[in-house]
Amino acid sequence: MSIQQTIIIVKPDGMTKGLVGQILRSLQEHNLRVIDHARFQLEREWVENLYDQEKDEIYFTEVVEWVSSAPVLLLKIEGNKAVDLVKRRIIGRYPEGIRGQYSENWIKNVAHAPDSSESALRELQLAEPIFERRRMIDESRFSGKMVFALTGMSECGKSTVGKYLDSRGIARLKIVKIFEKVRDKLASDEELYTFLRQQEERDPYALWDAFIDELVAEMDRLNVNAVSIESLYGGGLGPYLKQKLGRHFCIVFLDVPLEIRLVRQMQRENLPGVESARKYLLPRDEIKEKSGIPALKEIADEVVDNSGTLEELYQKIDQLVRKHLQ
């Protein structure tokens, strides 16, 4: 296995055509992961350095002007044989890959990727100050703030924890309500889940950045520095928030054995027995499993065992809050 790092720059035409989502899905299909990213309008001098080895080509001036003309997305990629997979299989050269499908000409050709490990190293070094700038901006924006994202399977106690945190001054927010505000600004006549699906297919990073904007705005409106958000489902939002918010974001996975959750479901719904609870609970669990919630346990900052008493749960949450707000 040859683990490599490389970079993709989604050019202005790739951004306009909504190809970010397709590129991200292709990376996932090839078992490659994004370990850093930044969305900026590049300075002309930086782009000239990027294409320095092509400065004598007839298209040099035109490509520099085009790539620096509007915001682009830089993706730092890691994985087995990443350089070759990204260049040959994902971005491609006409008529292969995404370039083959969407390029208009040699200049407006959707995305850039280095064609060798040496070029990848050089371009990653060139891009590192841009990634660092993005991290500094995000750190400054969330300085003094904390977001607890609550997740877990059905009947695990997310609402209980959210209400308890709210009683302790950590405002309880619903993720779906925040996304509704995003939808209302961008496409108010769209049904919410249709809107989310379309935006994630086109550019999930833009959607999740808009989510962050609304989250910050709501924290400012409430005049609070700490909130809980629920319920965090699987997919890319959780990992993206971890990358963007860093130490200001904590995924809390509430872990409860199925047998205990069935009993709690039976008691809460006043059901006649565990089998009745199973028919009620398992279809909901299946939906959560398909959404990727079990995978969130692997990246959770805190896994809280909620198989005991309510008092024990509150004690664990108090300890968790003290740890992350100190």
Strands 3-10 and 72-80: antiparallel
E-strand ranges in the chain read 3-10, 33-40, 72-80, 111-112, 146-152, 171-174, 226-230, 249-255, 302-305
Q: What DSSP line would sit under 71-124, residue for residue?
A: -EEEEEEEEETHHHIIIIIII--TTSHHHHHH--SSSS-SEE--SSHHHHHHHH
Task: Give residue-wise pLDDT tens across range 166-212.
Answer: 999 999 999 999 999 999 999 889 999 999 999 999 999 999 999 99
Q: Say which residues have a Cβ less than 8 Å from residue 312's Cβ, sequence separation at least 6.
A: none
Q: Which residues of 125-145 are buried (b: 16+ CB within 10 A; e: fewer)?
A: eebeebbeebeeebeeebeeb
pLDDT of residue 1: 78
Report whether pLDDT(79) > 90: yes
**CA dihedral of 41, 44, 50, 52, whole degrees rounded to 10:** 170
Report whether pLDDT(322) > 80: yes
pTM of structure: 0.93
pLDDT of residue 235: 86
Average pLDDT of span 24-52: 96
Whether residue 112 lies in the annotated active site: yes
Task: Give residue-wise pLDDT tens across range 52-61.
Answer: 999 999 999 9
| 133 phi and psi angles, rounded to 5 deg | -60, -45
Alpha-carbon gap, residue 134 to 141, rounded angstroms: 11
Q: Which residues of 47-82 are buried (b: 16+ CB within 10 A; e: fewer)?
A: bbebbeeeeeeeeeeebbebbbeeebbbbbbebebb
pLDDT of residue 29: 94
Domains of the chain: 3-139 (3.30.70.141), 142-325 (3.40.50.300)
Q: Which helix (H) or strand (E) holds 164?
A: helix 158-167
Give the number of other CB atoms < 10 A from CB of residue 227.
Answer: 21
Average pLDDT of span 108-134: 96
Average pLDDT of span 62-73: 97
Candidates 30, 37, 112, 324; catalytic one: 112
pLDDT band (50, 70, 90) for residue 110: very high
Task: Give residue-wise pLDDT tens across range 30-42.
Answer: 999 999 999 999 9
Mean pLDDT across the chain, nearest whole number? 95
pLDDT of residue 94: 58
Q: Which structure tokens are listed for 160?
A: 């209980």
